[in-house]
């Protein structure tokens, strides 16, 4: 079944098609290609050198949604990759070994530059080490991002990252692209990024309404697509979020719930916050487990993996390199456990959620480590129902519908028993949860 599409989704699909078309034509156009990751990505800098980005983990999740990932994972395991290795890595390696065919059916070009920005996931470094073996003649740039050990971004850490940008990353871009760095061009792109980020915050904050006009988890993965990947810093990205915001505003005005694969969700029964990525191999089936029961996710930690804008951060054209550094250090997986817990607590309160659900991903340590501690801490702080399920990113062998359903049944029973009496709509002058 095809998901019901609005104009924003059609626009996003067109943007992606154009991007992959550009990637398929680099031999003719001469444009250079940069492989990089979503958390802490430097998309604006890539485009400032007129290069094109490719995101291996996006290729992996798309392969999962297209039911191709198991084949690719087995290909990687056949040459020695362990079952315990991140399934994104194995899927990506297997895809490359089978011709590197992207989600549109076109072959992706090899990288001219491997840009590794370490933002909370040690696996990224090993992943690119393996890509370097596959593409031995490719340049590689390493941008080390320090953790927020003290729970805040220190000025010395910003200087440390900026120095790397100046001495390691930008010189590699200049070498590969054949262009000199233009800080004014970067600043213009950051100005557009800030506009898109402001719109995205408004869109996610619409979940304060009852019913929530968005699902911030399953719908949210579509919403974050342009800003967390290849389009941040472009007019297209800003236009996309303007269109999306107008659609969300329409649903708020007409008291409509989020759009699901079966159309508008008819009745909102439970408001949830979720920790962890979704499962991609059974995405629609996974989603229906929730909207079929009237459960909507009003906030998600996963939709902050490519950048956290809730606390006011926006890319700034006034200090371009410092802005990139702060962005990289602020990503969700680059925050310590107390910061993550505090963020979830704010979301649970702000959106008046009825409960917290943790989706623990078997092969993703950067998300799964500490999840039980966070879950129990929030349960004690807020006296809310908590649920725990286990899936995987793109390995279908670790998706068990019956096990997930059994755990969710228990979770929803708790929600039904402890659901608070909500203030009726006619007592709220603006239909906003306060």
CB 259 within 8 A of CB 219: yes
Closest by Cα among 312, 293, 280 to 395: 280
CB 227 within 8 A of CB 198: no
Q: Which residue has the higher pLDDT, 368 or 196?
A: 196
Closest by Cα among 73, 124, 57 to 302: 57
| Tokens at 40, concatenated | 């802490």
Q: Which residues pair with 275 in a beta bridge?
A: 358
- Mean pLDDT for the chain? 92
Determine the Cα–Cα distance for residues 231 and 337; give it in Å rounded to an integer. Answer: 30
pTM strictly above 0.95: no
Biggest CA pair distance of the chain:
66
Q: What are phi and psi of 34, to 5 degrees?
A: -120, 120
Q: What are phi and psi of 283, to 5 degrees?
A: -55, -50
Look at residue 103 in the predicted model and tell me its pLDDT: 80
Q: What is the pLDDT of residues 82-127, one digit of tens each?
A: 988 999 999 999 999 999 998 888 899 999 999 998 787 878 888 9
Q: What is the pLDDT of residues 369-407, one digit of tens each?
A: 899 999 999 999 999 999 999 999 999 999 999 999 999
% of the chain at pLDDT higher than 70: 95
Look at residue 434 in the predicted model and tell me its pLDDT: 44
Determine the Cα–Cα distance for residues 8 and 19; give it in Å rounded to an integer. Answer: 16
Work out the pLDDT band at 4, boundaries 50, 70, 90.
Answer: low
What domains are defined for the chain? Answer: 7-186 (3.40.50.11890)
Determine the Cα–Cα distance for residues 216 and 221; give it in Å rounded to an integer. Answer: 8
**pLDDT, average across residues 28-55:** 96
Residue 350 has pLDDT above 60, yes or no: yes
């Amino acid at each position: 079944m095809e998901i019901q599409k609005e104009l924003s989704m059609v626009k996003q699909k067109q943007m992606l098609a154009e991007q992959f078309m550009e990637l398929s034509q680099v031999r003719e156009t001469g444009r250079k290609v940069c492989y990089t990751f979503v958390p802490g990505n430097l998309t604006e800098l890539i485009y400032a050198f007129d290069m094109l980005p490719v995101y291996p983990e996006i290729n992996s999740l798309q392969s999962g949604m297209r039911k191709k990932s198991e084949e690719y994972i087995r290909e990687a395991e056949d040459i020695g990759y362990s079952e315990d290795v991140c399934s994104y890595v194995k899927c990506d390696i297997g895809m490359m070994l089978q011709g590197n065919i992207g989600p549109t059916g076109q072959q992706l070009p090899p990288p001219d530059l491997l840009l590794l920005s370490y933002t909370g996931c040690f696996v990224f470094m090993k992943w690119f080490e393996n890509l370097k073996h596959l593409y031995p003649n490719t340049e590689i740039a390493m941008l080390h991002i320090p953790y927020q050990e003290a729970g805040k971004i220190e000025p010395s850490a910003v200087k440390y990252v900026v120095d790397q940008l100046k001495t390691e990353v930008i010189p590699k871009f200049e070498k590969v692209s054949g262009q000199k760095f233009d800080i004014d061009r970067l600043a213009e792109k950051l100005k557009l990024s800030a506009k898109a980020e402001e719109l995205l915050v408004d869109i996610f904050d619409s979940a304060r309404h009852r019913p929530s006009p968005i699902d911030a988890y399953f719908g949210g993965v579509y919403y974050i697509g342009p800003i967390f990947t290849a389009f941040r810093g472009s007019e297209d990205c800003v236009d996309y979020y303007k269109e999306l915001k107008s659609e969300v505003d329409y649903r708020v005005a007409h008291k409509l719930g989020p759009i699901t694969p079966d159309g508008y969700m008819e009745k909102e029964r439970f408001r949830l916050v979720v920790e962890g990525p979704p499962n991609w191999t059974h995405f629609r089936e996974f989603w229906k487990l929730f909207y079929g029961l009237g459960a909507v996710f009003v906030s998600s930690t996963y939709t902050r993996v490519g950048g956290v804008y809730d606390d006011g951060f926006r890319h700034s054209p006034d200090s371009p390199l410092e802005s990139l550094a702060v962005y990289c250090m602020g990503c969700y997986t680059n925050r310590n456990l107390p910061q993550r817990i505090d963020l979830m607590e704010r979301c649970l309160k702000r959106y008046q959620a009825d409960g917290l659900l943790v989706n623990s991903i078997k092969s993703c340590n950067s998300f799964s480590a500490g999840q039980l501690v966070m879950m129990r801490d929030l349960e004690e702080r807020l006296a809310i129902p908590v649920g725990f399920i286990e899936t995987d990113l793109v390995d279908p062998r670790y998706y068990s519908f019956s096990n997930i359903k059994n755990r969710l049944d228990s979770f929803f029973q708790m929600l039904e028993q402890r659901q608070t009496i909500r203030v009726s709509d006619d007592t709220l002058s603006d239909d906003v949860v306060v």
